[in-house]
Structure 1
Amino acid sequence: MDTDKTAGNRKGRPNYPADFKRRLAIEACVPGISVSKLAQQHNINANMLFKWRRELRVGLFEPIAPALLPVLIKPARARLPSPRTAEPSNMIEIIIGDAVVRLHAGIDAALLQLVLQSLRP
C-alpha cells in the first residue's frame, strides 16, 4: 500500500464540474429520493453525493443566477413597549447567526422547541 503521496496529487480522482455537483445535490434533496441509487446511476460514490448535498445546504455552491424578489418598504411606526418587554429580568435573548430570539416569561415549551428547530441550518 503506497502512503507516500505528494501534496495535491489528484491522479486517478475525477474532478467533477460544479454544475454537475450542484445538479445532483439538488436532485438528492428531493423528498423520497434514494441518494445511494442516484449515486449508482451516475457512477459516483454515495458518500461523495451526501457530501455535495451537505455543501449545497450550507450554501457552498455558488448560485446559478441570483434571485431578486420585490420588496415593499413601509415607514416604521413607533410602538409603545409592551408590559412584557418593560421588565428585562423576565426576558432571555438568544442570538444565533443573524436571528435574534427573545423569550418572555410563560412561553410555551412546544412553541420554543419549534422556533429553535427552525433556526437550525
Structure 2
Amino acid sequence: MRLTIHNVKHIPAQHHAHVALILEGQPLPEQAEFYLATFNDKAVALAWCEQQQLSFIAVRDITRRRGIGQELLRVIKHAAKQQGYSQLTCQPQAKPNQQAGLVAFLQSQGFNGQTPVLSCNLE
C-alpha cells in the first residue's frame, strides 16, 4: 500500500484509535479542514487548518522520519494555494520535549520567522 492523504471534514470512525495515538491527548476541534495521512489503512499523521493557519500537525511517533510529514505539508500547501492563499501561517505547539523538533521541521519545509508565529509563502 502507499501513503494516502485524505482531506476530510470528520475523522472516519475506523481511524479513531490511531488518531488518538497521534493526538497524544490534544483535542480535535469541532470544525476544521482535516488532513489525514494513512498507510496500510492505518492513520499515521494528522493536520488541520483553519483559514490560512496550520493549527496542528503531527506524525505518529513510530512512523516519523519517513517523509510522511513532508508529504502532508506538500498537500496542505497545494490546497491552500488552490484556495487562493498566498501565505500559510503556523503557531507550532507541541510537548516541551518535541517543540524544538517541530519548529526545525517546519523551518526545513519553508516556514520562517520567529516563534510563536511562523509563515510560509505559497507563491
TM-score interval w.r.t. the shorter chain? under 0.3
Q: Which has the larger radius of gyration?
A: 1
Q: Give the TM-score normalised by the residue count of structure 2.
A: 0.21
Q: Which has the higher strand share?
A: 2
1 or 2 for the larger relative contact order (CA 8 Å, sep ≥6)?
2
Q: Which has the higher helix share?
A: 1
